[in-house]
């Protein structure tokens, strides 16, 4: 049986802020996976995957849902922790 990892939200930043940090590589990888051009004012949620040295970045748009991000995390054998889910839900709700 595969181990399930826990994804913890470490921050929600603009692409510009993220590219100026040690999270830049993760944001660039996600933009390539999503076939998305990087725009300074786009928003990115950064998750730490516990038990690994990995981080995952996900773009947050007005039409983004928690379910979309959870699904992508599940593809990586990871589950979003409860506190992270609640914070992200609130952030997305306030974007609309």
Confidence band for 84, pLDDT divided at 50, 70 and 90: very high
Q: How far apart are the first and last CA of the chain?
A: 40
Q: Kindly report, residue by residue over 26-61, the tens digit of the pLDDT.
A: 999 999 999 999 999 999 999 999 988 889 999 999
Give the percent of the chain with pLDDT over 70: 97
Q: Which residue segment(s) compose the domain that 68 sits in?
A: 5-95
pLDDT for residue 1: 46
Which residue stretches of 7-53 are H helix?
A: 15-19, 24-33
Instruction: Compute the distance between CA of residue 37 and CA of residue 9 in angstroms, rounded to an integer.
Output: 23
Q: Say how many domains are in the chain.
A: 1
């Amino acid at each position: 049986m595969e181990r399930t990892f826990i994804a913890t939200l470490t921050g929600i930043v603009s692409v510009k802020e993220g590219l100026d940090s040690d999270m830049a590589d993760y944001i660039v990888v996600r933009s390539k996976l999503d076939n998305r051009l990087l725009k300074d004012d786009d928003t990115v949620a950064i998750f730490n995957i516990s038990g690994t040295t990995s981080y995952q970045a996900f773009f947050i748009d007005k039409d983004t849902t928690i379910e979309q991000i959870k699904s992508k995390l599940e593809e990586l054998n990871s589950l979003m922790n409860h506190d992270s889910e609640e914070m992200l839900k609130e952030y997305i709700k306030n974007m609309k």
